[in-house]
A and B are shown apart, each in its own frame.
Chain A
Amino acid sequence: MPSAKRVVIRNHSAEANLFARRAFITLLGVIVILLVLFNNIYELEISSYEKYQTRSNSNRIKLLPVAPNRGLIYDRNGVLLAENKPIYSLEVIPEQVEDLEAAIKSVSELLEIPQEKQTKLFESLRSKRRFKPLELISRLSDQQVALFSVNQHKFPGLFIDARLKRYYPFADLTTHSLGYVARINRRDEIKLEEQGKEENYAATRNIGKLGLERFYQDILHGTIGHQEVEINNQGRIIRTLNFTPPVPGKDLTLTLDIELQMIAKRALSGKRGAIVAIDPRDGGVLAMYSNPSYNGNLFVHGISSKNYKKLLSSHDRPLVNRTVQGYPPASTIKPLLALTGLEEEVITPEKEIYDPGFYQLPGIETKRRDWKKWGHGKVNLSKSLEQSCNVYYYDLSYKLGITKIARMMEKFGFGEYTGIDIYEENRAIMPSVEWKRARYNQPWYGGETLSVGIGQSFWTVTPLQLAQAMSILVNQGQIKVPHLLKATTEVTLTEAENSDGIPQRIETVIEMPIDEKPPIVLKKDKYWGIVLDGMHNTVQKVGATGYPAFKGSKYDAAGKTGSAQTANIAQDEKYDAETTQENQRDNAMFVAFAPYEKPEIVVAVAIENVAKGGGGTNAAPVARQIMDQYFGNRVIVSKKKHPHHNETYGEQYLDSNTNKKISSGNN
């Protein structure tokens, strides 16, 4: 063996030393490398600890948004108008079901689900995360909920989920004022993003689309809550770490009286029209109803296109909110024109004109006829209102000119938003020289002023504007912005202080302040009284236009009738003999307030295309019904005797205890 020879001559200790040296060097190397490793781990675990701690947490901790409950809406007497009702859906967690197909089949049999829906279910179950709940059937009926609950033990992995959905118990009675909520769409999302609210809406499905629901969306919505959960790498929730409850939206109490709404609906049934009732003392809207209406609940679940088409194409146009839609005011604005005449000193209360049954502008052949063929004879201011004498107002408006009329009417809010708390309001049109120039690029013709004098021509007012203008009139110039919201209520639950361990409910009610605009000041305050007197006579004097409707009422009402000719709101209808004929009929208008002294309610009524008669026979009885409901059994008579028409003035129902009745009536 040659190696044996070599071994003999090998220097073993030298080799051992060499090896030991090398081994020592490698040991140093090992230590250096260990220090490098240690240093690197130190960097990660100590120097960058917070960074990695945060990243570790963001890996595993997820914030799940929890939607707040929407605030409820009550009428002025606490009747619930908008609530959140639980709706039930059947959900499934696929991975917890052994035989999905069989389970779905038997549950479909149990709940009587049609075959074609079942196949859809199977399709939707594919390619979904298996541990996340999936909605099998939305909107279960109560019967289905009961059926499933009884048999739940047969279906592991299937369960019923309850969600809150908006519900309007009075349905079409409140839709035009309350509006409705519906699914947040792309446009809403963009808007929310622009306003920086998308975070607060992360879990919210529905948003106010119309009316108060839209106007007070922010107040009703509340603040989002969060559930902090731990998830694994597949997003499965392992446990809840923390829970920040959402803050529910505030409840709204409205100035609306649902009973007045009901009366309004009944009074308008079968007619197209609108009623607005305002409390002139604070601008609170007592009733606001447009007929025909529609059921807002349809929109909450997403209206079917068939139903939507039906609403859209309906001849009666139920989607239009007629309370904020322009109508020619006709004679209802005569009191305001008379007031303008007094203010501009064109007329005095006593000054009479002679009405031969027509009016002619100086130097022009065309005769404008009064509604009474043979004329009213000698007419003063009060009689002009009582009899709704057109010739008196042709003359008055001719003397005033359009500009003076327009300026005064604008003060009463015509042609402008009233500022009510819904967005659907229409400005309507207060015509003027400037308006016509801007709208038609045409000069103003004198003859048009005469039409304006009887509330026709281009002039349109919304029933809301009309009620508001009357409210300003009875308030003698004080302008209180009309509104539907009376108060907001915030419900908070405190930590349990009492022995029962039940969290205490604390309700914080905030009353809405009365919003006032600068008042209208006249040269003489007595002008207000003169005009209001005229309106009083119109209702109380036997033979006056408003008398028949209010005959026998126990409260002391005042008002003014109006009949507008051929007011055709619908512009895009095809020719049809019957409907055209109907569309050319008059609109009936009426404005009223009561009690005459210290008014509590102003009502404006507009009814489209009445069969026969005018405001006095069609609209005034509607206002009467509203007021009858409002006053109930209260009996109110005026303290002051009427200065002009004592002999024919009203009907006294009480001859004693007058003062007492009035004071109780004002409570």
Chain B
Amino acid sequence: MRSIGHDQQKQRSIWYRLNIDIPLLVGILCLLTLGLCVVYSAGGQNADMAIRHAKRIGIALFVMFFVAQIPPLIYRKWAVPAFVVGISLLVAVLLFGHVGKGAQRWIDLGFTMFQPSEIMKLIVPIMIAWYVSQFNLPTKIIHIIVAFTLVLIPTLLIAKQPDLGTSLLIASSGIFVIFLAGASWKLIGTCGVLASGFAPILWLFLMKDYQKQRVLTFLNPEQDPLGSGYHIIQSKIAIGSGGLQGKGWLQGTQSQLEFLPERHTDFIFAVFSEEFGLIGVTLLLLVYLAIVMRGLWIAISAEHAFTKLLAGSLTLTFFVYVFVNIGMVSGLLPVVGVPLPLVSYGGTSMVTLMAGFGILMAISTHRRFIA
């Protein structure tokens, strides 16, 4: 027994030295492998696309591994300067940014296009966690108001680009910190009421026409089956026709015959459901649940309020991706541009997510040294 225990200790220490959290890594690899398969199918069995996707997976894994080596408390020191730089970049984007797909999101760095809102997905939870963790928990109302304001600035700047999906993710990453820090239920209830009061203001002043159209389409997709309702209808047909067992890998007619739009990016879940059916969907949801549980466990086990809050926020934001994407593809939520995390084709969001997992792993593995 002892020898086994010794071996385990020794084994754990190898991964510890590499700062890798094994359960998290297994879950992530599951999703990445699955993503590669579905992207290959959704891309019309295009090997080039699958290879490009595989390369991005490699880069993302490297980023994760690299980030995992950074002791998490370093982020606390750099939180404020990073936040200030991030906000400046967002303002710069609005002023001089590159326009693409009807939105102003990129800054042209000459060699590559840079999307400041992506990096803010990490900076905002770090910033809020830094701010909230300075004070005793539960956070006092005055600090909550300050924290909320800090969240609102980047959220509004990104919503103005407009990028509803990212601003939603950034807002929730900040709000999760506030919630986990123990905001009183009374306050949460009040905010809920205020938010519903805010909705008409959002509708009238902040949302662009195409965003309003998405919401209207969400409410009644069949009204305009060939126009803006087409995405949702075809997506529901793809999911529904998958049935229990699915049509089989590479056999989905909705995706292979190109009825489904955006099938390798935002609507990849529809491809997956069509080809793997309810059984596949159930397994996928369980993998996501496992990753969330592991993330929350890392948060609970973390030793500092800052790392706890950061880990919790990163985990839950990851889940917001899952919820918003699957919700929109299956017709529960309006169409918002959020990818299915670690499965959808597309480099930027995957790298950010994997960097987030790197931070989680750092939190999970660096505590001994810090303690």
User: Quick check: is B365 within 8 A (CB to CB) of the other chain?
Assistant: no
Cβ-defined contact, A30 with B237, below 8 A: no
CB-CB under 8 A from A42, the residues of chain B are 278
Interface residue ranges of B287-334 to A (CB < 8 Å): 288-289, 292-293, 296, 299-300, 305, 308-309, 312, 316, 319, 323, 326-327, 330-332
Asked if B240 contacts A19 (CB within 8 A), the reply is no
Nearest-neighbour CB distance to chain A for B277, whole angstroms, equals: 6
Question: B224 contacts the other chain (Cβ, under 8 Å)?
Answer: no
Interface residue from A19, A45, A52, A53 paired with B312 (Cβ < 8 Å):
A19
Interface string of B278-290 (1 = CB under 8 A from A): 1001100100110
Would B179 and A40 count as touching, CB distance under 8 A? no
A45 touches B237 (CB 8 A): no
Alpha-carbon gap, A49 to B241, bound state (A): 6
Do A34 and B285 contact each other (CB < 8 Å), given the known contacts A45-B243, A49-B243, A59-B253?
yes
Q: What's the nearest-Cβ distance from chain B to residue A375, in Å?
A: 91
Docked-complex contact B182 and A45, CB < 8 angstroms: no
A232 to B331, CA, bound (A): 23
Q: Are A10 and B332 in contact (CB under 8 A)?
A: no
Collect the chain A residues with CB atoms within 8 Å of residue B299's CB: 19, 23
Chain B nearest Cβ from A180, distance in angstroms: 43
Q: Is A151 an interface residue (CB 8 A)?
A: no
In whole Å, how far is B284's beta carbon from the nearest beta carbon of chain A?
10
Q: Which of B256-277 contact A (CB under 8 A)?
A: 257-259, 273, 277
Chain A residues 216 to 247 lying within 8 A of chain B, measured CB to CB, are 230-234, 238
B288 contacts A53, CB within 8 Å?
A: no
Count of interface residues, chain B, beta-carbon cutoff 8 Å: 50
Contact between A33 and B240 (Cβ–Cβ < 8 Å)? no
Within 8 A of B (CB), among A31-70: 31, 33-34, 36-38, 40-42, 44-46, 48-49, 51-53, 55-57, 59-60
Is A19's CB under 8 angstroms from B308's CB? yes
Check: A164 CB closer than 8 A to any chain B CB: no
| Residues of the B chain whose Cβ atoms lie less than 8 Å from the Cβ of A51 | 240
For the complex, is A520 an interface residue (Cβ under 8 Å from B)?
Answer: no
Q: Are A45 and B326 in contact (CB under 8 A)?
A: no
Residues in chain B near residue A55, CB distance under 8 A: 237, 240-241
Whether B112 is near chain A, meaning CB under 8 Å from some CB there, is no
Q: Mark B234-265, 1 if CB is under 8 A from A, else 0.
A: 10111111111000000001100111000000
How far is A122 from B281 in the complex, measured between Cα atoms in Å? 52
Interface window among B5-13, B131-139, B150-158: B131-139
Query: Within 8 Å of chain B (Cβ to Cβ): is A20?
Result: yes
Cβ of A442 within 8 Å of any chain B Cβ, yes or no, is no
The verdict on B40 contacting chain A, using a C-beta distance below 8 Å, is: no
Q: Which residues of B are found within 8 Å of A20, using beta-carbon distances?
A: 300
A40–B305 Cα distance when bound, in Å, is: 37
Q: Which residue of A lies closest to B326 (CB)?
A: A37
**Inter-chain contact A36/B281, CB cutoff 8 Å:** no
Whether, in the assembled complex, A18 has its beta carbon less than 8 Å from a beta carbon of chain B, the answer is yes
B83 interface hit (Cβ, 8 Å): no
| Number of A positions contacting B (CB below 8 A) | 43
- Asked if A26 is an interface residue, CB under 8 A from chain B, the answer is yes
Partner of B253, one of A44, A60, A234: A60
Are the C-beta atoms of B239 and A59 separated by less than 8 Å? no
Q: Tell whether, in the assembled complex, residue B293 and residue A52 are in contact, meaning their CB atoms are under 8 Å apart.
A: no
- Are A15 and B180 touching (Cβ within 8 A)? no
Residues of the A chain whose Cβ atoms lie less than 8 Å from the Cβ of B285: 34, 37-38
Q: Is the CB of B273 within 8 A of A41?
A: yes
Asked if residues B289 and A31 are in contact (CB atoms below 8 Å), the reply is yes
Give every chain B residue within 8 A of A31 (Cβ-Cβ). 289
> Which residues of the partner chain A approach B323 to less than 8 Å between Cβ atoms?
33, 37
A27 B136 Cβ-Cβ under 8 A: no
Is A664 an interface residue when CB atoms closer than 8 A count as contact? no
Shortest Cβ distance from A352 into chain B, in angstroms?
93
- Nearest-neighbour CB distance to chain B for A2, whole angstroms, equals 8
Q: Across the two chains, which residue of chain A brings its CB closest to B279?
A: A45
Task: Give every chain B residue within 8 A of A185 (Cβ-Cβ).
Answer: none
A15 contacts across to B, CB distance below 8 A? 136-137, 305
Q: Does B176 sit within 8 A of A, measured CB to CB?
A: yes
Q: In the complex, what residue of chain B is closest to A26 when comparing beta carbons? A: B316
CB-based contact A40/B243 at 8 Å: no
Tell me the bound Cα distance from A273 to B273 in angstroms.
Answer: 78
**Min CB gap A13→B, angstroms:** 11
Give which listed residue, B257, B273, B292, B305, contacts A232 with CB less than 8 A: B257
A49–chain B nearest beta-carbon distance, Å: 5
State whether A56 and B238 are in contact (beta carbons under 8 Å apart), knowing that A15-B305, A19-B180 are contacts in the complex: yes
Q: Which of B172-190 contact A (CB under 8 A)?
A: 176, 179-182
Complex Cα distance A47/B240, Å?
A: 9
A6 at the interface (CB under 8 A from B): yes
CA distance A59 to B282 in the complex (A): 27
Instruction: State whether B281 touches A38 (Cβ < 8 A).
Output: yes
Query: How far apart sit A53 and B241, CA to CA, in the bound complex (Å)?
Result: 4
Interface centre among B237, B288, B331 (most CB of A within 10 A): B237
Q: In the assembly, what is the distance between CA of A23 and CA of B234, in Å?
A: 37
With a cutoff of 8 Å between Cβ atoms, the chain A residues found around residue B241 in the complex are: 49, 52-53, 55-57
- Shortest Cβ distance from B309 into A: residue: A19
A22 at the interface (CB under 8 A from B): yes
Residues of A near B176 (CB, < 8 A) are 26
Q: Which residue of A lies closest to B179 (CB)?
A: A22
A22 contact from B182, B234, B282, B293, Cβ within 8 A = B182
CA distance A16 to B181 in the complex (A): 10
A6 to B179, CA, bound (A): 21
Q: Of A3, A19, A230, A234, which contacts B182 at CB under 8 A?
A: A19
Other than the given A26-B312, A49-B241, 12 more pairs (CB < 8 A) read A19-B305, A22-B180, A22-B182, A26-B180, A27-B296, A31-B289, A45-B244, A45-B273, A53-B243, A59-B257, A60-B257, A230-B257
27 contacts between A and B (CB under 8 A): A3-B134, A15-B305, A18-B138, A19-B312, A22-B179, A22-B182, A22-B312, A30-B289, A30-B292, A30-B319, A34-B289, A38-B282, A41-B278, A42-B278, A44-B239, A45-B273, A45-B277, A45-B278, A52-B240, A53-B241, A55-B237, A55-B240, A56-B237, A57-B253, A59-B237, A233-B257, A233-B258
Task: Kindly list the 9 A-B residue pairs having the minimum CB-CB distance in the complex, ordered from nearest.
Answer: A52-B240, A56-B241, A232-B257, A44-B240, A15-B137, A233-B258, A52-B241, A45-B278, A44-B239
